[in-house]
Amino acid sequence: MRRQGIVALMLVPVLLGGAATACGQVTMAESVIAIQNTPVRVATHTRTAGQGRTPAVVLFNMHDDENTSVRAGLDVLRARGGRLIELRHTGARNVTFRMDTARFTADPNRIFTDTGARLTLERLSHFDARAHGALRSFADAVLARTGLDTARIVVTLHNNTEANYSTRSYLPGGEYAADAADVYLSPSADPDDFFFVTERPLFDALKRRGFNVVLQDNARVTDDGSLSVLAARRGQRYVNVEAQHGHRRQQERMIHALLDVLARLN
């Protein structure tokens, strides 16, 4: 199927807050990737680390209403440098676009496989072959623009709501139990704050630090089009840092701990 509907426009970088330091400022540059004629902005926040280096790990936020994770990620950038990339459109979780007179809606974390893109269209609007092609092209463009198509490590930032989605969702009897190879639920941590990983060494390392962790069953996981599914297929190390809306300090602490663990594993 021919994919279509991509438009890209580079915008001017701007400086964000604070005086210059020895390690530099946090800068933000925007570009636009369009689904048909609907623009989605890609905001890239960067702060150089010591000696002008930018760490290889990129933090990625794809749901435009999960702002706690962005604030936590920026806090980490200010402390240790790095890059954070977020998708911006309407401030809502899902992206909506039009083709001719038809309107389509999709979850931006359900578009990274053909099956997932089809399912998210069917669930949130309706399936159309041209819309499916445009959505898959958009997904490919996002991966290329962010560098996640070739990255060794994929780190995403997400937020959830109370009693909606948590570590418990993967325990026996939970909605996503079949997708998990292992689950660790800490007796001292909020179940809403957890890591979702695709490799056992990461699971074990984060568990030892007392965090809630879910290990994806890469052989049996449902193909829902999420980035964790694609990363596992490609052999990329994947981590989702998931925290409840408003748990900014806890999510910041989780990101710091993850970066320390990744540095040791590498």
Q: How many C-beta neighbours within 10 Å does residue 114 have?
A: 16
Full DSSP string of 146-174: HTTTT-SEEEEEEEE-TTTS-GGGGSTTS
Identify the pLDDT of residue 56: 67
The amino acid at 18: G
**Long-range Cβ pairs for the range 96-99 (8 Å, 24+):** 96/38, 97/35, 97/36, 97/37, 97/38, 97/131, 97/134, 98/36, 98/37, 98/38, 99/5, 99/36, 99/128, 99/130, 99/131, 99/134
Predicted confidence (pLDDT) at residue 13 exceeds the cutoff of 50: no
pLDDT at residue 25 in the model: 85
Name the residue with higher pLDDT: 5 or 111: 111
What pLDDT score does 108 carry? 98
Instruction: Report whether pLDDT(147) > 90.
Output: yes
Question: What are the pLDDT digits (tens) for 117-145?
Answer: 999 999 999 999 999 999 999 999 999 99
Are the C-beta atoms of 122 and 231 separated by less than 8 Å? no
Going from N- to C-terminal start, the domains of the chain cover 8-265
pTM above 0.75, yes or no: yes
pLDDT digits (tens, 9 = 90+) for 51-63: 545 456 899 999 9
Question: What is the structure's pLDDT at 163?
Answer: 80
Q: pLDDT of 196-225, one tens digit each?
A: 999 999 999 999 999 999 999 999 999 999
Residue 98's SS3 state is strand
- Whole-number Å distance between alpha carbons of 215 and 150: 22
Among residues of the chain, what percentage have pLDDT more than 90? 83
Name residues whose C-beta falls within 8 Å of residue 219's C-beta, 6 or more positions apart in sequence: none
Cβ atoms of 199 and 179 closer than 8 Å: no
Is 8-265 assigned to CATH 1.10.260? no
CA 95 to chain centre: 15
User: CA 154, CA 140: separation in Å to the nearest integer?
Assistant: 15
Residue 14 has pLDDT above 70, yes or no: no
Phi and psi based region of residue 221 (left: phi greater than 0; alpha: psi -120 to 50; beta: remaining): beta
Express each pLDDT in 76-102 by its tens digit.
999 999 999 999 999 999 999 999 999
Considering only CA atoms, which of 111, 114, 122, 135 is closest in space to residue 4?
Answer: 135
What's the pLDDT score for residue 57?
87
On the question of pLDDT at 3 being above 80, the answer is no
Task: Write down the mean pLDDT value for the chain.
Answer: 90
Is there a contact between 191 and 209 (Cβ–Cβ < 8 Å)? no
User: Which pLDDT score, from 0 to 100, does residue 48 have?
Assistant: 82
- The secondary element (H helix, E strand) that includes residue 212 is strand 212-216
